[in-house]
Every structure is written in C-alpha cells, then in structure tokens.
C-alpha cells in the first residue's frame, strides 16, 4: 500500500454571536481536516490545530511542503515519515505552524494504521485502562459589554445541570475584574463543583500572583496558562508560590519542548494538544516524559468532533498515575459553546451531550482507527479555498 495524496480541508462558518478570550474576540469558527489517501482506497483522517488564517497557511504547508515528502511512501511507516518531515523542516520551524501541519498528517496516518489492522486507536496505543472518561464543560467565554459576570453565573449552572463533571471559564479583563468573574461563578455553583480558570497567558507574574492567590481562596481546581509560555521562570515562581495548581502546555511542541518545560518544573498539570504538538506519535512520547516525572495529564482539546474522538481514545488508553484502586481519572475537555463542527461534522455523531446527561462520561468510538468519518457533504458545504 502506498500514499497517493494528502488533501487539506479548511472549514469555516460565521457564529451567531461573537466569543472571546484574553487575546481577542472572534466571530467565526474554523476546523482544519487532513485526508491521507492510498492506492488501495483506504483513507485516514486527521486534524490540525489553528484557527482562521492560521489554518489557511497550514493548508499550504500540508499540501505544498509535507505532501511531496511522503506521497509514494508506505503509510504504516509513521515514525519514518514523521522524522523525515521533521528533519527536513528543522531549519524552518521546530515549533508552531509546521508542527501543527505535521500533527494532522500524523493523526491521519494513525487512523489509516487502525483501518489497515482493524484495531481502534485506543488498542493501537496500548489498550483501554477504562471504558469511559469524565467530561468537563469548557464555556463561559468573554463577551463585550455589561453583565458578563451575571451571564457566566447563569451559564455555569447550566453546565452543571447538563451533567458535566467540572467546568472551565475564561478570564482576561484584568486582575480585579477577573477575580470578580471567578467569584460570581463560584458563588453560582457552590464549593462542591470543580471550577478551572483559563487566562490564555494574559498576565505578567505580579498580576498572576494576585489572581492566583484569590483563586486558591476560591477553591479553583487549576489556573491555566497564567503567563506567557516562554516565561518558564514565571511559571516556576507561580507553582512554588501559589496554592492553586498550575496547568499549561497547549502552546508547547514536540518531545524536546516538553522535555524543557517539564525539567523547568513549570506545571502541576500537563495539557498537551495532540493536534498541534506533532500528532499522536509525538503525543505518546510527551505522555511518557510527563508520567516519568509523575505529572498528570489533562489533554487540551479544541477542535471538531474528529479531534474530540482522537482525545477520547488517548484518554481511555492513559495509565493511572501513580496507580491505585481509586486513582484520579483523566478528564476530557469539551467545548460547550455552539459548534457545528463538534455536532454535525460526522456521518455518525458521537452523541456526546446525551451521554454526559446520563452519566457525565463518554466512551471512545469502537470502529477501526479513530472510528469516525467526516460527512463529505458537510465538508463540501463549509470548505473554503482561501
């Protein structure tokens, strides 16, 4: 079997309501799918992290840079192909968009591996340690205008009532206003519902310390990306000083970047993004690095139903850390805001919301590979060329 083509599909649509995080407001959604075709008719699907024009740039990298390096090769040679691409791109991008593009290709090759062997992704990476995973609902985005605290307080109650095991909210208005936002959310759901706070690296260390102390008093489960990902010393200072756990790593790439992040003792909770850091091949190496230092992993997940399915497989196949009868379980991050790419992309939807309402948990698809297929009519409807 040989690879005959690598095709990139960027899908976009305009949201009914603008959403925001600490760095920007946005009015559209993007997902970037990668299709690896073979001469025997089998197709593997992957996904690249990156919104808007980033996805369009990554499309060029996938089709014009990476595809010529791997077309004609055996799709089972995943490690060979990964290192071929990385080595040829090393002088041009050891992090960032080239690695995001490579991630989608690598995930598609793993999907092909499962379809060729008749095994699910969870089986391919070592087997299921659990049959399902709990889910936390990621909502409470920033919006313009007055009444944000009241809206977030109402939204978090809805997330809890929908069956989610925990929730995560955005901050980024400034230290004083952010503390007020978190206080409103905590007051709305009480002390027994886990709340996490995501700053998307908007603070300097002094403001992060001020906010982090308040989050500790409010019983927040973790403080995510409090400072710039380059500020390793700042991360270490926060981790050494604050009571609240420090989470991060979604903006880190490859085993080498993660080695340095972990060696600097920056995070209590590691958040690798499989669609960005180098794909499943590289994610498994990062998992080993984190677990060798007894740092728990809660995957960063932001994308379509395809990315969600990949992450469910990886989470059911994650070993307990450190192990025990009642070990803390890894959670799936799930976007709770309106998202057609989460709900309508697949030929057979994942049924996430119904499962969460019933048990607060979701199961991995059972088919070979990732176990899901994008609907070609849906892809054609939302695909953009530039």
| Active site members | 300
Strands (DSSP E) contained in 49-91 are none
**Euclidean distance between CA atoms 315 and 298, whole angstroms:** 8
Here the tokens at position 8 are: 């990139």
Write down the residue that tokens 């340095």 correspond to.
260
DSSP string, 181-241: HHHHHHHHH-TTS-EEEE--S---HHHHHHHHHHHHHTT-SEEES-S-TT-HHHHHHHHHH
Write down the residue that tokens 């903006």 correspond to.
251
**Euclidean distance between CA atoms 199 and 364, whole angstroms:** 30
Nearest to 297 by CA among 332, 270, 322: 270
**Euclidean distance between CA atoms 278 and 205, whole angstroms:** 29
Burial of residue 169 (CB within 10 Å: 0-12, 13-18, 19+) is: buried
Strand partners, 248: 270
Which positions ≥6 away from 211 have C-beta within 8 Å?
171, 175, 178, 179, 199, 203, 223, 226
**Euclidean distance between CA atoms 367 and 182, whole angstroms:** 41
Identify the sign of the CA torsion 161, 167, 171, 177: positive
């Amino acid at each position: 079997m040989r690879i005959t083509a690598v095709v990139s599909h960027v899908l976009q649509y305009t949201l009914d309501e603008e959403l925001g995080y600490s760095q920007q407001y946005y009015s559209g959604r993007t997902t970037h799918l990668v299709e690896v075709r073979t001469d025997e008719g089998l197709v593997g699907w992957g996904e690249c992290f990156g919104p808007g024009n980033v996805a369009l740039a990554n499309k060029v990298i996938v089709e014009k840079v990476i595809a010529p390096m791997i077309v004609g090769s055996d799709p089972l040679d995943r490690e060979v192909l990964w290192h071929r691409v990385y080595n040829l791109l090393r002088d041009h991008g050891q992090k960032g968009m080239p690695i995001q593009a490579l991630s989608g290709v690598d995930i598609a090759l793993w999907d092909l591996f499962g379809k060729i062997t008749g095994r699910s992704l969870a089986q391919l990476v070592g087997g299921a340690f659990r049959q399902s995973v709990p889910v936390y609902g990621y909502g409470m985005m920033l919006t313009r205008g007055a009444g944000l605290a009241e809206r977030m307080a109402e939204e978090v109650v809805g997330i809890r009532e929908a069956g989610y095991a925990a929730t995560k909210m955005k901050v980024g208005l400034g230290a004083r206003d952010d503390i007020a936002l978190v206080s409103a959310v905590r007051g709305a759901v009480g002390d027994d519902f886990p709340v996490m706070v995501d700053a998307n690296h908007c603070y300097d260390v002094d403001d992060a310390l001020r906010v982090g102390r308040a989050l500790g008093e409010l019983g927040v489960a973790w403080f995510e990306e409090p400072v710039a990902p380059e500020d390793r010393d700042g991360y270490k200072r926060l981790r050494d000083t604050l009571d609240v756990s420090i989470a991060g790593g979604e903006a880190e790439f490859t085993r080498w970047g993660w080695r340095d992040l972990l060696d600097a003792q920056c995070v209590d909770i590691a958040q690798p993004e499989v669609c960005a850091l180098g794909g499943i091949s590289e994610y498994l190496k990062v998992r080993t690095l984190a677990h060798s230092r007894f740092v728990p992993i809660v995957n960063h997940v932001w994308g379509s139903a395809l990315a969600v399915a990949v992450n469910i497989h990886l989470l059911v196949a994650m070993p307990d850390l450190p192990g025990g009868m009642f070990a803390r379980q890894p959670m799936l991050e799930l976007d709770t805001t309106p998202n057609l790419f989460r709900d309508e992309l697949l030929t057979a939807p994942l049924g996430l919301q119904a499962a969460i309402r019933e048990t607060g948990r979701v199961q991995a698809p059972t088919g070979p590979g990732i176990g899901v297929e994008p609907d070609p009519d849906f892809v054609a409807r939302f695909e953009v060329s530039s």
